[in-house]
Amino acid sequence: MGIRTGGPAPVPNIMNLRDIHVPVLLERCIALLGPALQRAADEGRTAVYVDGTLGMGGHSEAFLERFPDIRHIGLDRDPDALRIAGERLAPFADRSTLVHTVYDGIAEALEIAGVDHADAILYDLGVSSLQLDEAERGFAYAQDAPLDMRMDPTQGITAADVLASYGEGDLRRIFERYGEEKLAGRYARAIIAARQETPLERSGRLVDILQAATPAALKNAGHPAKRVFQALRIEVNGELAALERAIPAALRTLSVGGRLVVLSYQSLEDRFVKRLFAEATSSTAPAGLPMELPEHAAQFRLLVKGAELAGDDEAALNPRAKPVRLRAIERVREAA
């Protein structure tokens, strides 16, 4: 984990960022997290806003502009994202700290920034526009590129490594678990057979293998590579394991009145968030007690009922918002 505070190398076409990158559900995120930032200000404290998935800095820029006294901490595992966001947020460098880490490293990031709590936290999950648009990163099945898929290209295994080293059973497992792919076994067998001839190193060849292995009757039921690419990306980056650590870690950092908003883009992520939020908002009282003792009362409450979706207008303006599911939670009391 490292730290970046202003002064990154110049980013080409930085002035076009606002055109190519539209933050998802920006106004709703501000409406949900703003009261927590205002509460801290009303208490005479410097409000701390954490963007746990900084990306290209769109959400962070808006919060820094709208709340001119907040302290900002941005986390991202992608060095390119930190570089671009650092350029975009350069006008706010005196109250912004950017940290190179996965979003489950929030406690360490706060320590680096010299603060011991957060008042508002945003997690915008999944693959970023930057990663999808950079063909050579290998995230997009529509473009032929090396099978990398690492969100942090400086470390870890690549998708090509997974395809070269995992057995048929392991490939089937990740396709089923992380891609919810009904043809997982068929695709795993096809990959094992194909790699006996030559290694799978490019996305175009993987797409060809998956298309050839797809029954004719199912070829019009969505692109056959979509769920396999999702599964490989989640496996390479350990996304769900990081998410299961990140939510409790984020909740522990929140001050009373502090809020966390999570934006999910696929059902696996959203189910994780739903379960972790349900646990956080439940009483810890043992079953059968005649009354709940104060120390057993829930420390958090839900801010929205279920998962909120993007409206038609936003989805039309920003196609990336179409699958989003928003959930939000607030700390109502300190831990016992």
Residue 141 annotated as part of some ligand binding site: no
86 labelled binding-site residue: no
Specify the DSSP element, H or E, that contains 206.
helix 203-213
124 is in an annotated binding site: yes
What is the rounded distance in angstroms from the CA atom of residue 125 to the CA atom of residue 139? Answer: 15
Tokens matching residue 178: 């992380």
Any known ligand binding at 49? no
Q: Quote the CA–CA distance of 126 and 239 in Å, as a whole number.
A: 8
User: Cα-flanking dihedrals φ and ψ of residue 7, to 5°?
Assistant: 65, 30
Q: Is the separation of the CB atoms in 282 and 298 below 8 Å?
A: yes
CB 335 within 8 A of CB 248: no
**Is 178 within any annotated ligand binding site?**
no
Q: How many CB atoms lie within 10 A of CB 138?
A: 28
71-76 vs 96-100, strand pairing mode: parallel
Phi, psi for residue 256 in degrees, rounded to 5: -60, 130
* Residue ranges of the binding site: 57-59, 76, 103, 124, 131
Mark the binding-site residues for S-adenosyl-L-methionine, compressed into ranges.
Answer: 57-59, 76, 103, 124, 131
